[in-house]
Amino acid sequence: MAGEMSTGSLAMMHLYKRTPRVSLLVVKIEGEYFKKATGRTHFTCNDGALIKQTIQEAIDTKEARSVRARSEGKNENGEVVAVFYITWSFKINLKI
């Protein structure tokens, strides 16, 4: 799903070669549809800083933390066709 990918790629970017290793898992997906998606639809997420902060909190506290990231899909005319909210959980991976 494009909504998951736009949020997940931000999470993976902040986890790449991170020490300690942190696991990520989708725990909830919510969606709202406004128009039929025809043609190219682009999904974007602007919650990179929030995702990074949540990952750091998981590392600092050594406890799982969750973040609800918003992904907005727009058609070629710039009209919003759908909005997805993906809740990610981050947890330090103690197994190496």
Q: What is the pTM of this model?
A: 0.90
Three-point CA angle 35, 40, 44, nearest 5°: 80
Number of domains in the chain: 1
Residues 6+ apart with CB under 8 A from 51: 7, 10, 11, 14, 67, 69, 88
How many angstroms separate the CA atoms of 33 and 63, rounded?
34
* Residue range 6-28: mean pLDDT, rounded: 94
* CATH code of the domain covering residue 7: 3.10.129.10
pLDDT over 70 for what percent of the chain?
97
Nearest C-alpha neighbor of 79 from the set 38, 27, 25: 38
The predicted model gives 49-53 an average pLDDT of 97
pLDDT of 96 strictly over 70: no
What is the domain extent for residue 41? 2-92
